[in-house]
Chain A
Amino acid sequence: MKIDNVPMKGLSSEEYEKALKITWKPNLHYTWDNGIGIGKYLQSLKEGKILASYCEKCERIMLPARAFCEMCFRPTDKYVPVKDTGTVNTFAICHVNWDASRLKPDEPRHIPAVIEIDGASSGQGIMHLLGNVDPAKVHIGMKVKAVWKPATEREGSITDILFFEPY
Chain B
Amino acid sequence: MSFKEIIQLNTQLGYFEGQIPVNYQYTLGVAGNKFFETLKQKGEFIASICSHCGVKTIYPLIYCEECFNPIETYASVGLEGNLYSFTKCYRDYQGNTYDEPHVIGLIKFDGIKGGIIHRLNIDEKDLKLGIRVKAKLKPIKERTGSLDDIICFEKV
B156 is an interface residue with CB less than 8 A from chain A: no
Known A1-B70, A20-B36, A20-B37; contact A26-B2, beta-carbon cutoff 8 A: no
A11, A33, A78: the one contacting B27 at CB < 8 Å is A11
Check A23–B22 contact: CB distance below 8 A: no
**Cα distance, A26 to B32, chains bound together (Å):** 22
B141 is an interface residue with CB less than 8 A from chain A: no
- The main secondary structure of chain B at its interface with chain A is mixed
B145 contact set on A, CB distance < 8 A: 20
A28 contact set on B, CB distance < 8 A: 19-22
**Cα distance, A30 to B15, chains bound together (Å):** 10
**Cα distance, A83 to B95, chains bound together (Å):** 48
Check B2–A37 contact: CB distance below 8 A: yes
B10 is an interface residue with CB less than 8 A from chain A: no
B5, B15, B26, B146: the one contacting A32 at CB < 8 Å is B15
A1, A32, A36, A156: the one contacting B2 at CB < 8 Å is A36
A77 is an interface residue with CB less than 8 A from chain B: yes
Considering only CB atoms, which chain B residue lies closest to A43 in the complex? B14
Check A19–B16 contact: CB distance below 8 A: no
Within 8 A of B (CB), among A70-108: 75-79, 99
B14, B33, B63: the one contacting A20 at CB < 8 Å is B33
**Cα distance, A11 to B33, chains bound together (Å):** 13
Query: Closest approach, in angstroms, between the C-beta of A92 and any C-beta of chain B?
Result: 22
**Cα distance, A11 to B21, chains bound together (Å):** 25
**Cα distance, A1 to B52, chains bound together (Å):** 11
| Beyond known contacts A11-B27, A30-B20: 17 more, CB 8 A cutoff | A20-B36, A21-B27, A23-B23, A29-B18, A30-B18, A31-B16, A32-B15, A32-B16, A33-B14, A34-B16, A36-B2, A36-B7, A66-B2, A75-B1, A75-B3, A75-B4, A76-B2
A16, A25, A29: the one contacting B23 at CB < 8 Å is A25
B98 is an interface residue with CB less than 8 A from chain A: no
A27, A39, A76, A78: the one contacting B94 at CB < 8 Å is A27
How many residues of chain A have a CB within 8 Å of chain B? 38
Known A75-B1, A75-B2; contact A21-B26, beta-carbon cutoff 8 A: yes
Check B15–A31 contact: CB distance below 8 A: yes
Considering only CB atoms, which chain A residue lies closest to B93 in the complex? A27
Check B24–A24 contact: CB distance below 8 A: yes
A29 contact set on B, CB distance < 8 A: 17-19
Counting chain A CB atoms within 10 Å of each CB, the highest count among B16, B17, B32 belongs to B16
Q: List 25 A-B contacts (CB under 8 A).
A: A6-B70, A16-B27, A20-B33, A22-B25, A22-B28, A23-B25, A24-B25, A26-B24, A28-B20, A28-B22, A30-B19, A30-B20, A32-B15, A33-B14, A34-B13, A34-B14, A34-B15, A34-B16, A36-B3, A38-B14, A66-B2, A67-B3, A76-B2, A79-B1, A99-B21
**Cα distance, A147 to B2, chains bound together (Å):** 29
Considering only CB atoms, which chain B residue lies closest to A156 in the complex? B14
Query: Closest approach, in angstroms, between the C-beta of B34 and any C-beta of chain A?
Result: 10
